[in-house]
Amino acid sequence: MTDIKIEFAHRRYLPQILEMTMQTQIEHADRQPDQFSKTQLEPSLLKFYRSSFRRWGFLPAFASQRVIAAVQGDHLVGYIALKFRRVRRSIVWSATIYDIRVDAAFQGQGVGRRLVDFATTVAKDRGCFMMYAHIWHDNIRSARLFSSCGFEEHYSLYGLSLMETDDGG
C-alpha cells in the first residue's frame, strides 16, 4: 500500500470518480430502491463532481468543495469529497464528507482511513471547527471507519424521498 498516494484530485480522475460513484449508487439502490436509481447517477452528485473540476482542472484551496484522491499510478483506488460551509452566517466553518469510496480490491488496507485523515487535515487547515459525515443507517462499514477515526454519532436525520423509482413508482 505504500505506493498509494493521497492527493487533491485532478480532472483526469473525473471519469473514474463518476464510475465509482455510480457503483456506490447501485449498491445503495439494492438496499434502498426508494432512495436511489440504478440507471441514473443522482443529479446532485453529478453536478457536484462536474462543477468541481470545471474551471481549474482541480479545486483551488479557496473552493467550497474539495475532492481528494487515493491513487496508485494513474489508477484511482478511492476518493473522498468534502464540502465546506459557514455555520449560520457566522465566520465559523464546518466540513462535511459528502462522499467516500474505496475500490473493493483496496478495502481493508487503510485507504479509507488515509483519505479521512487527509480530509481532516484539510478541514483543520481551512479553520473548520467541526467535520461531519452523513451515512445511511445500514452502512456498517462506513460507520466503523468513521468511528475508528474519532467521529461520534450526533443525531439522526430523517428524510422523505421525492424521487420516482426506476419502476415508475
For the chain of 169 residues, list the mean pLDDT of each consecutive stretch of 10. 84 86 81 75 69 53 79 94 80 86 94 97 91 86 93 80 57
Q: What is the pLDDT of residue 139?
A: 83
Q: What is the pLDDT of residue 165?
A: 54
- Helices and strands (DSSP H and E) totals, the chain: 4, 5
Euclidean distance between CA atoms 93 and 142, whole angstroms: 24
Q: What is the pLDDT of residue 163?
A: 58
**Grid cell locating 122:** 484539510
Q: What is the pLDDT of residue 134?
A: 85
Q: What domains can you pick out in the chain, each with its CATH number? A: 4-148 (3.40.630.30)
Name the H helices within 9-162. 14-31, 43-53, 111-126, 140-148
For residue 101, the tally of other CB atoms under 10 A from its CB is 23
Q: What is the pLDDT of residue 155?
A: 77
The closest of 78, 71, 138 to 113, measured between CA atoms, is: 78
Three-state SS for 97? strand
Q: What is the pLDDT of residue 56?
A: 42
Buried b (16+ CB within 10 A) or exposed e, 102-136: bbeebeeeebbebbbebbbebbeebebeebbbebe
